[in-house]
Structure 1
Amino acid sequence: MGEQARVSGVMTNAPLMLNVDCDMYANNPQVFLHAMCMVFGFKNEEVCAFIQFPQAFYDGLKDDPFGTQMAHFFYMGNGVSSIQGPFYAGSNCFHRRKVIYGSSLNDAVRTGNTDHQNLHKSFGKSIEMRESATEALSGSNAKIENPRIPSSFIEAAIQVAGCSYEYGTSWGKQIGWMYGSTTEDILTGLSLHGRGWKSVFCALEPPPFLGCSPVTYPVALTQQKRWATGLLEALFTNKNPLLLTLNGNLWFRQGLAYMWICLWAIRSVPEICYAVLPAYCIITNSRFLPKISESAFLIPMGIFVIYTLYGIWEVNRLGISLRMWWNIQRMGRVNAMTAWLFACPIVLIKLLGLSQTVFEVTRKEESLFNGDDNDDANAGRFTYDKSPMIIPGVVILLVNLTALVSGVSGLVNVGSRENRKTIFGLGEVFCSVFVSLCFWQFLKGLFGNGKYGIPSSTIWKSGGLALLFVQLCRRSSQWF
């Protein structure tokens, strides 16, 4: 990504830079006019750093079974637009060139020999690069004497695009796309907002850009792990939202929004705790929710009903089907307890200096299901490999199924009076059933064949961990 900004600076003096992933294309020819109007058509044009367009997909699977099409991004983008603006999503974005070159809000015009020396240290030894940066940072629109055609910059562009060009410069640190995270987009957006700039969210019809999304579950799982890893890495850089709020120009509420997304990986820990809590209560014959006969039961029930109805109202406004909404909800739970969980040890190993994170490119085929009726019927089905990221999901499923079986057997037991006494209530059973439904595809994978079945080695490992958890639960009920 750094090479893109450097080569753009050499080849053009345009005030805007378009950033589009290689698997996406412009679908709306008016998008360029809209971008220019958003930047140059308002009184506050000087505070706008970039214009972010939503991501849409031309070959997405029906109802988004893997939760990768980000159909709810429209609400996220509009939610933060009223603060400093939407997050930079890594694609479908127009950047102001001077902002990418490190300009901060209300920067003075850079002139003089000292500034040229600083530009040499910041932008490297290329004369063409320094001249382009000087023009962009000064905002000069003066007519260039002896203009050169872009093809005359080929040699300079090759030099600037070299991986060794940035050594000893500020590329990736203060200018260009930021280094230090596998999600350079969130780190770059943090840098821009931390300098006081704002961003704009623009949604058009027809969709401005279209791309392709993962069409198999293992690929989607890898993508989620990379996102969660990169977001967590951002917290351990000098672009930490809290530091930029205290020492920079990042607004407090914008910092909270960044913290929410950067803590995806950490969120996996409480997600797992809540997923096994109802199972623990059923196994140990205890409870954490009020009984249905108690008036306090209306509080958690009311929260759940209101949240669900509000979610249905949102998807109705967006034109999303109820099935897609459910897929987004359940995959939010599944991804948090599988892919996001593995981001934590990856970042920890990096912080300990034992290893470096690796950027895993997401394979995005146009469609694996075309031309074959049998393949079309299997489109959206979960496929599995021997990835260890699947194990936590299988463990959680087995634990909750064991708890439900144990609870039902306890209810139908006609033995002693002590065995007939039940403390856990309907709330715990409902929560355990809900978690099992979220991992319903994993249950089908336990009995599937071929690529649609979970490998036997994964099942045995998960079964052993689930059995260990159940035994610890039963022992804890004896201890306490």
Structure 2
Amino acid sequence: MMYEDMKDKVEQVVEKGEIIDDYNTDDQRRQAFNQWTKGFTRMDHPTVIQIILDKSKDKDISGHSLPNLVYVSRQKSKASPHHFKAGALNVLLRVSAVMTNAPSILTHDCDMYSKDPRTPLRVLCYLSDPEMKSNLAFIQFRQRFHGLNEDDIYASEYKRLFKINSLGFDGLKVTLEISELNPDHAVNKAITSEKIMTLAHYVAGCNYENQTKWGSKMGFRYGSLVEDYYAGYRLQCLFEVTFSEYNTLIYGSQSMGVLMSLAYSHYAFWPIWCIPVSFYCLFPQLALLNRVSIFPNASEPWFFLYVFLVLCAYGQDLLDFLLGGGTVRRWWNAQRLWMIRGLTCYLFGSMEYMLKSIGVSTHGFSLTSKVLDDAQSKRYGQGVFEFGVPSPLFVPLAMAAIINLFSFMSGLTGFLKGSNNEGLGLQMILSGFIVLNCLPVYGAVALRNDAGKMATKITVISTFVSVALYYISSLFL
């Protein structure tokens, strides 16, 4: 009943765009809501810090002091950059330092959880262990995403990352600008005092980090949508990832040992997968269209070695997935998304990094809205992919789908006609495998009329680029 009452009030406030007087039932609420002026919006508002519980005076029913409970909403301005979740965490880090400066921080996120209520106590045991506390600063639980459909079509479970591969990690093994943010600073004033509240509002302002090292040398790392990976990585030994003097293989092996550096390198070099994935999705198929063999003939010993390695690699991956509690259909979607990511986000991410490295400005990443309409939710529940946004990311994927389809049809036609296709067998099998992976793309291009279908502009561009790529390849093959 309390939750439904709160929900009703929130919805009414959102609908009216203002706080009605009936909700300002005491001075504390009135003080907080008076900050909600006419120009107050979700992305443009001043800092809001409200003390809900003060341990110096708030008691439970048995008379014991309750812990401090403080609501914080950092300042946001259209004129200032937003660093998303990492920025929010850095603000909370500074506000916490100013108001209490407790030695440990526990961060809850909607996609991370533990079923054990004693988890904080167990974490404190690690942080308090005199044998390891000087080398330990960050403990993170694996992510768990809720609301996935039955077959997890987008591979959002990340089973390999958070369950299978993490087993291999087991057993391997800031300077501040103002005195109140110093790690050794003792807070000796009440959190409700004017000085504490003024400083807390100051460090939560969107201009506080200007000309500072927050987000690069201090706090949580900016520049990534997954700040937890970067933060955990940097807290161990590194300031930059992959291509720097703190390279995971060279510097990492010296700091953490070879095994741990290889484990981190597995993730640090993920974007480079775009090179072999793009190669295998395009080059053998273009060669097949031009009747050029690039793989061993079926009668050669190398043919059987190639088939053996492919089947063993996929077989081991499937076995790991099933032993980790997955299903065959979820595994298929996971390996399908591995190919899709290689052709889309890994490819564009690598291009963006190279452009930045030579001083060319890029658009960068931005978070998309997580709000789904009923039609999108229904399609997701039915296992239907969304391609409705006319994004350049879909061009390489659509190109691969088009080239592989025509390549497979060409190879199959030659096989049915009895042509000598002994040297083209592997290429045709590879094309057929990718065609199966691209079935959602074909449906989005030609068979769907809903809002999640592929944009016509993307289809046309992909078709023209595919044809151009075919004619270019015919000049060299």
Relative to the length of structure 2, the TM-score reads 0.71
Q: Return the offset for 1:337.
A: 0.7
Q: Report the Cα distance in structure 2 between the residues aligned to 1:27 and 1:370, rounded to whole angstroms.
A: 33
SS at match of 2:106: strand
> Which residue pairs with 1:403 in the alignment?
407
Structure 1 residues 375, 327: closer, same or farther in 2, change over 3 A?
A: closer
Q: CA deviation at 1:335?
A: 1.0
Q: Which residue of 2 aligns with 1:241?
A: 248
Relative distance call for 1:380 and 1:14 in structure 2 (3 A) is farther
Partner SS state of residue 442, structure 2: helix
Q: Does the 8 Å CA contact 2:123/2:139 hold for their aligned counterparts?
A: yes
* Aligned partners of 2:277 and 2:339 also within 8 Å: yes
Shift, 1:64, TM fit: 1.1
Say if 2:159 and 2:321, in contact at 8 Å, map to a contact too: no
Task: Report the alpha carbon displacement of residue 159 of structure 1 after superposing the two structures with TM.
Answer: 1.7
Alignment partner for residue 203 of structure 2, among 147, 160, 171?
A: 160
Aligned partner of 1:46 in structure 2 is 134
Contact 2:113-2:141 within 8 A present in 1 as well: no
Query: In terms of mean alpha carbon deviation, does 17-26 or 336-345 score higher?
Result: 17-26
Correspondence 1:149-188 to 2 at 5 A: 149-152=190-193, 153-167=196-210, 169-179=212-222, 181=224, 183-188=226-231
Using a 3 Å threshold, how does the CA distance of structure 1 residues 348 and 307 change in structure 2: closer, same or farther?
closer
Evaluate the alpha carbon distance shift between residue 395 and residue 50 of structure 1 in structure 2; reply closer, same or farther with a 3 A threshold: same
What is the TM-score of this pair, normalised by structure 1? 0.71
Query: Compared with structure 1, are the counterparts of its residues 452 and 376 closer, same or farther at alpha carbon in structure 2 (3 Å cutoff)?
Result: closer
Distance across 1 between alignment mates of 2:114 and 2:346:
31
1:123 is aligned to 176
Cα drift, residue 441 of structure 1:
0.8
Task: Report what 1:16 is aligned to.
Answer: 104
Distance in 2 (CA, whole Å) between partners of 1:370 and 1:284 is 43
> Shift in Å at residue 395 of structure 1?
0.7
Of 22-31 and 315-324, more deviation after overlay is shown by 22-31
User: How far has the Cα of 1:294 moved from its partner?
Assistant: 3.1
Paired position in structure 2 for 1:469: 469
Q: For residues 382 and 361 of structure 1, do their structure 2 counterparts lie closer, same or farther at Cα, with a shift above 3 Å needed?
A: closer
Task: Measure, in 1, the Cα distance between the counterparts of 2:311 and 2:225.
Answer: 38
The runs of 5 or more residues in structure 1 that have no matched partner are 85-101, 103-121, 136-143, 196-230, 415-419
Change (3 A) 1:460 1:275: same
> Could you tell me which residue of structure 2 aligns to residue 211 of structure 1?
none
8 Å Cα contact 2:318/2:328 also seen in 1: yes
SS in 2 for 1:64: coil
Q: Which amino acid aligns with 1:431?
A: L
Q: Which has the higher contact order (CA 8 A, sep 6+)?
A: 1
Cα displacement string for residues 378-435 of structure 1 (whole angstroms, at most 9, x for unaligned residues): 4543332211111111111111111112122223447xxxxx3335332221111111
**8 A contact 2:271–2:346 mirrored in 1:** yes
Q: Measured at CA, do residues 338 and 166 of structure 1 come closer, stay the same or move farther in structure 2, by a change above 3 Å?
A: closer
CA-to-aligned-CA distance 1:114-144 (integer Å, 9 cap, x gap):
xxxxxxxx4223x4223xx125xxxxxxxx7
Q: 1:458 to 1:360 in 2, by over 3 A?
A: same
Q: Look up the SS of the partner of 2:347 in the other structure.
A: helix
* Residue pairs, 1:145-224, within 5 angstroms: 147-152=188-193, 153-167=196-210, 169-179=212-222, 181=224, 183-194=226-237
Q: Structure 1 residues 422 and 363, CA, compared in 2 at 3 Å: closer, same or farther?
A: same
Residues 1:265 and 2:271 aligned together = yes
**Equivalent position SS for 2:165:** helix
In the TM superposition, residue 443 of structure 1 has moved relative to its aligned partner by 1.2
Distance 1:298 1:336, change over 3 A: same
The 1:351/1:3 distance shift into structure 2, 3 A limit, reads same
Structure 2: segments with no counterpart, 5+ residues: 1-85
Identity percentage of aligned residues = 24
- Out of 165, 169, 172, the residue aligned to residue 80 of structure 1 is 169
1:449 matches 2:449: yes
Partner amino acid, structure 1, of 2:219: G
Shift of 1:269: 2.0
The alpha-carbon distance between structure 1 residues 169 and 344, as it changes in their structure 2 partners (threshold 3 A), is closer
1:6–1:377 distance in 2 versus 1, CA, 3 Å: closer
SS in 2 for 1:49: coil
Aligned length: 385
**Distance in 1 of aligned mates of 2:374 and 2:290:** 46
- 1:286 touches 1:423 (CA, 8 Å); kept in 2? no
Deviation at 1:66, TM superposition (A): 0.8
Structure-1 residue corresponding to 2:358: 352
Q: Displacement, 1:36?
A: 1.9
Q: Is the 8 A contact 1:159 1:165 kept in 2?
A: yes
Residue 252 of structure 1: aligned partner: 258
Aligned equivalents of 2:249 and 2:204: distance in 1?
Answer: 33
Q: Alpha carbons of 1:469 and 1:167: their partners in 2 closer, same or farther (altered >3 Å)?
A: closer
Q: Which is further off, 328-337 or 427-436?
A: 427-436
Aligned residue number for residue 314 of structure 2: 308
Aligned: 1:391 with 2:395? yes
Aligned to 1:347, the other structure's residue is in SS state helix
Q: 1:424 to 1:446 in 2, by over 3 A?
A: farther
**Aligned-pair CA distance for 1:302:** 1.5
